[in-house]
Amino acid sequence: MNIKELAKLLEAVSLDNSTGEEEITHAMAIEDGNLGAVSFIGNPHYERYLLTTRSSAVIVSEYLTLPQATDLKLPALIRVKSPYEAFAKTLEIFGEHRSLLPEGVDKSASIHPTARVAKSAKIGPHVTISENVTIGESSEIFPGVYIGPGTSIGKRTAVHPNAVVYDGIEIGSDVVIGAGCIIGFDGFGYVPMGDGTYKKIPQVGKVVIEDNVEIGANTTVDRATVAETRIKRGAKLDNLIQIAHNVEVGENTVIAAQTGISGSTTLGAQNIIAGQVGIVGHIQTAAHVIIGAQSGVSKSLLKSGTYFGSPAKNHREALKLEGVIRSLPELSERVKRLEELIAQHEQLE
């Protein structure tokens, strides 16, 4: 398609540096672009590539400010309200998109022969596949999956290879359970005994995963001690995340890889948790909280905003503190010199 057609599909605010007739055939990263490619800039770090890219078009923010020089040869600029959202749509148009959810409109269910499904499991309504086992419309259970008794799985949900869903788990519709996930294994609960050993606390609760949740590969969601561990509607979890017992993840919250959330913590709606964040137990976060990578959260964050550091604090305050820490070696040398001058002065007296 030509750039004008693409800009219309992306609901562009404007189209600059283009006749509108240039052909676009594929999508590429801006630093690797070539003739016929469309790229995007979602982070200011990549704006420098505007001067060198060979892409025919670049999707940018409507507010992008260009260099003042008038002799620069720039690609066509498709200005949009949200470059990330527009590029995601572009990849759907030009990419060979592989959905993690079951594809097609076939209402029949699919359970791979190597999957082991307990007879008392209920996998959605409509289609009975064996005694006491049903599967919802268009759901798919991949090779090597285990699904325990008393578990229910809704419609159009995919449980990917070698995932384990233990007994009594509730999974909604349009959910992705990534390869190697463990859903509903016991939470980490022990009582220290007088002789130095530990007695296991029975974990008798359950896990509830609401609709439109995506859980990445090798992520674990522990069973509650009592009551439930709950992942609310629309939440997106990356690979390699630990969700402990009795945690609640708020609606449309996103969590990046290698994050660990300790027991009985409640995350608010639309939180953004970056990679390698550690969160202690029995605290809560407000809605619209952002936590920077490698932060350690040691207390409740009850106001919306951005937090960073260990212990996590207001982002601006954390940056000021980081600046002070970086200057400590120089300050230390200055203190030493001042001490030497004071000592010399005292000797002269």
Q: What is the largest CA-CA distance in the chain?
A: 100
**pLDDT on residue 108:** 60
The answer to whether residues 131 and 277 belong to one domain is yes
| Residue 223 near residue 185 (C-beta atoms within 8 A) | yes
**β-strand pairing of 254-255 with 272-273:** parallel
The answer to whether residues 267 and 301 belong to one domain is yes
Q: Label residue 107 by pLDDT band (50, 70, 90).
A: low
The answer to whether residues 295 and 270 belong to one domain is yes
| Residue 290 near residue 307 (C-beta atoms within 8 A) | yes
90: containing domain: 3-94
The answer to whether residues 31 and 138 belong to one domain is no
Average pLDDT value for the chain: 87
Residue 104 has pLDDT above 90, yes or no: no
Task: CATH number of the domain at 39, please.
Answer: 3.40.1390.10
The answer to whether residues 80 and 220 belong to one domain is no
The answer to whether residues 130 and 144 belong to one domain is yes
The answer to whether residues 267 and 285 belong to one domain is yes
Cβ neighbours of residue 255 closer than 8 Å, sequence gap 6 or more: 235, 236, 237, 238, 241, 249, 261, 271, 273, 277
Token pair listed for 310: 């260990």
DSSP string covering 94-142: HS----SSPPSS--S-EE-TT-EE-TT-EESSSEEEETTEEE-TT-EE-
pLDDT tens profile 207-218:
999 999 999 999
| Residue 179 near residue 217 (C-beta atoms within 8 A) | yes
The answer to whether residues 186 and 129 belong to one domain is yes
The single-letter DSSP state of residue 264 is T
Please check whether residue 162 lies inside any domain of the structure: yes
| Residue 273 near residue 255 (C-beta atoms within 8 A) | yes
pLDDT tens profile 62-87:
999 887 765 678 899 999 999 999 99
The answer to whether residues 85 and 188 belong to one domain is no
- Write down the H helix ranges in 28-108: 83-94
Task: CATH number of the domain at 281, please.
Answer: 2.160.10.10
The answer to whether residues 15 and 153 belong to one domain is no
Cβ neighbours of residue 185 closer than 8 Å, sequence gap 6 or more: 164, 166, 220, 222, 223
What whole-number distance in Å separates Cα of residue 50 and Cα of residue 56?
11
pTM of the model: 0.80
The answer to whether residues 9 and 117 belong to one domain is no
pLDDT tens profile 298-331:
999 999 999 998 888 887 776 777 777 888 888 8
Q: Which residues are catalytic?
A: 245
